[in-house]
Amino acid sequence: MSSLAGHPDPLPIHPIEGPLDAVVRIPGSKSITNRALLCAALATGTSTLRGVLFADDTEAMLGCIAALGAEVRIDRSQHVVEVTGTGGVLRCVPGTVLDVKQSGTTARFIAASALLSTAEVELDAAAQMRARPMAPTFEALRNLGATVVETLAPGHLPARIIGASHSSRPTVRLAADLSSQFLSGLLLAAPCMAHGLRLELSTEAVSAPYLAMTVDVMRSFGAMVHIDAAGAYEVEPGGYSARDYPVEPDASAASYFFAAAAICGGSVRIDGLGPASIQGDVAFVDLLASMGATVEVEPDSITVIGGRLKGIDADLSDISDTAQTIAAVAVHAEGPSRIRGIGFIRAKETDRIGAVVTELRRCGIDARELEDGFEIHPGTVHPTVVHTYDDHRMAMSFALLGLRSPGIEIAGPSCVAKTFPDFFDVLDSIRPEIP
């Protein structure tokens, strides 16, 4: 059976011979791209976004902002998108169904932005996204006066949303222990509300760096956001202004190639990431350093050099998208690894804790689930077909096992199109030339 870009399904991953010596070009950040696209769509004037990621998740956002009234012009060859914004007033043609596909960011961000629409907004999604939670966003929207009607299951898409207006600055209180995307969606819409918004957190935020990223992108487009001593967000009214915005390479995607250097030896350098990055996942290289890899950070690049690896005990609550990647590294360490603080990733594209443990065991590795993570004991990887559960991060992280061990095949490799359509081609490109 054929798959993504002519790759077979299942896709064999062949071991790498010799240490790496690679400079890898990583596509733009999905998380930054979708935040910047929405800010540009809500802005007054025309913005130019450079380094944009084109993948299923960002295509979903592009389709939604166009349906809500933004003018979008795309140059795929140059990774550039021009967006003429709506000035903060969204207009959805009656009867239009906005398809967020499998994109959690698009679902949560567009649902919150429906507060600004002058007409009913109807959202639907692929089956995988229909199964993921939307209740925190829907509850917050109702508390802000919006009408939300779920048409199949409570707290899930599909849903119809009718916005609301306010005579003074509203306050909404929201739990932040399931996904930062619920908070980010409300923050992104807030500058275009007539009186802004006060957003209070009822729990400690998971993936807190993603909230910092949201605020950074918002401020880049002219929004005024303040965080008070209690950790509440005060967003002033005034909307967004158009600008020229560069998108950083995706730090989550970079983690697979940094991990490849740690596992295979040699070095991998990625340009465009450095100490000034607004992505929390750049901290993944600190985990590799604590395991024994060498990390060299320059102003505009990061290099990882492989070394003798040891197990770690680490809380990944702030960089949970790299949990599966570190699992692949832990297999090759000396001593067990315990990854914790990530119970909330059970509600991602799949139960990422259960899936990691199940597939490691399929590969012959001793692994067990914890309430909020997993424990891995290194061992010899056995040949097998790895199930990916239609989760792009399962496919990309478990492909790393095949770089060291023969007989690893990845089922459903096309799922990487969600965030990194060229992943397997880029992975092949780092192989050393054999004389």
Higher pLDDT, 92 or 344: 344
Residues 222 and 90 in one domain: yes
* Strand pairing class (266-271; 20-24): parallel
Residues 71 and 193 in one domain: yes
Q: Please tell me the distance from the alpha carbon of residue 327 to that of residue 259, in angstroms, as a whole number.
A: 10
Cβ–Cβ under 8 Å, residues 40 and 71:
no
pTM score of the predicted model: 0.95
- Examine residue 243 and state whether it is found in any structural domain, yes or no: no
Give the pLDDT confidence score for residue 204 in this predicted structure.
Answer: 87
Burial of 381 (0-12, 13-18, 19+ CB in 10 A): buried
Residues 301 and 376 in one domain: yes
Give the pLDDT confidence score for residue 124 in this predicted structure.
Answer: 98
Residues 329 and 204 in one domain: no
- Examine residue 435 and state whether it is found in any structural domain, yes or no: no
Q: Please tell me the distance from the alpha carbon of residue 24 to that of residue 220, in angstroms, as a whole number.
A: 28
Cβ–Cβ under 8 Å, residues 203 and 154:
no
Residues 174 and 265 in one domain: no
Residues 373 and 224 in one domain: no
Q: Please tell me the distance from the alpha carbon of residue 414 to that of residue 395, in angstroms, as a whole number.
A: 9
> Which residue type is seen at 358?
T
Residues 103 and 194 in one domain: yes
Q: Nearest CA to 105 among 198, 164, 33, 209?
A: 33
Residues 265 and 137 in one domain: no
Give the residue carrying structure tokens 């275009």. Answer: 192
- Examine residue 237 and state whether it is found in any structural domain, yes or no: no
Sheet holding 46-50, edge to edge: 71-75, 80-84, 46-50, 244-246
Which residues, 6+ apart, have CB-to-CB distance to 219 below 8 Å?
A: 225
- Examine residue 434 and state whether it is found in any structural domain, yes or no: no
Mean pLDDT (whole number) for 341-355: 96
Q: How many structural domains comprise the chain? A: 2
> Which residue type is seen at 81?
V
- Examine residue 238 and state whether it is found in any structural domain, yes or no: no
Give the pLDDT confidence score for residue 1 in this predicted structure.
Answer: 32
> Which residue type is seen at 319?
I
Higher pLDDT, 17 or 283: 283
What percentage of residues in the chain have a pLDDT greater than 70? 98
**Which one of 204, 232, 260 terminates a domain?**
232
Residues 56 and 103 in one domain: yes
Cβ–Cβ under 8 Å, residues 253 and 25:
no
Residues 157 and 17 in one domain: no
Cβ–Cβ under 8 Å, residues 210 and 278:
no
Which two structure tokens, joined as six digits, stand for 297? Answer: 């950070």
- Examine residue 344 and state whether it is found in any structural domain, yes or no: yes
* Active-site residue, from 124, 250, 321, 390: 321
* Strand pairing class (197-201; 233-235): antiparallel
What percentage of residues in the chain have a pLDDT greater than 90? 93
Q: Please tell me the distance from the alpha carbon of residue 147 to that of residue 170, in angstroms, as a whole number.
A: 16
CATH of the domain at 48: 3.65.10.10
**Which one of 201, 232, 263 terminates a domain?**
232
Give the lowest-confidence range in 172-186, 294-308, 395-409, 411-425. 172-186
Burial of 181 (0-12, 13-18, 19+ CB in 10 A): buried
Sign, Cα dihedral of 274, 23, 12, 411: positive
Residues 328-331: contacts with CB within 8 Å, 24+ apart?
Answer: 328/259, 328/263, 328/397, 328/398, 328/400, 328/401, 329/259, 329/262, 329/263, 329/288, 329/291, 329/400, 330/376, 330/378, 331/360, 331/363, 331/365, 331/376, 331/378, 331/379, 331/381, 331/401
**Which one of 232, 264, 299 terminates a domain?**
232
Find the domain containing 152 and state its range: 30-232
Which two structure tokens, joined as six digits, stand for 66? Answer: 């166009």
Residue 366 a catalytic site member: no
Residues 194 and 262 in one domain: no
Q: Please tell me the distance from the alpha carbon of residue 328 to that of residue 305, in angstroms, as a whole number.
A: 17
Q: Please tell me the distance from the alpha carbon of residue 187 to that of residue 125, in angstroms, as a whole number.
A: 22
- Examine residue 241 and state whether it is found in any structural domain, yes or no: no
Give the pLDDT confidence score for residue 5 in this predicted structure.
Answer: 55
Q: How many CA atoms lie within 13 A of 388 on its CB side?
A: 23
Name the DSSP letter for residue 400: G
Q: Please tell me the distance from the alpha carbon of residue 187 to that of residue 197, in angstroms, as a whole number.
A: 8
Residues 382 and 307 in one domain: yes
Given a cut of 90, whether residue 435 has pLDDT beyond it is no
Given a cut of 60, whether residue 3 has pLDDT beyond it is no
pLDDT band at 70; cut points 50, 70, 90: very high
- Examine residue 315 and state whether it is found in any structural domain, yes or no: yes
pLDDT in tens, 160-185: 999 998 999 999 999 888 889 999 99
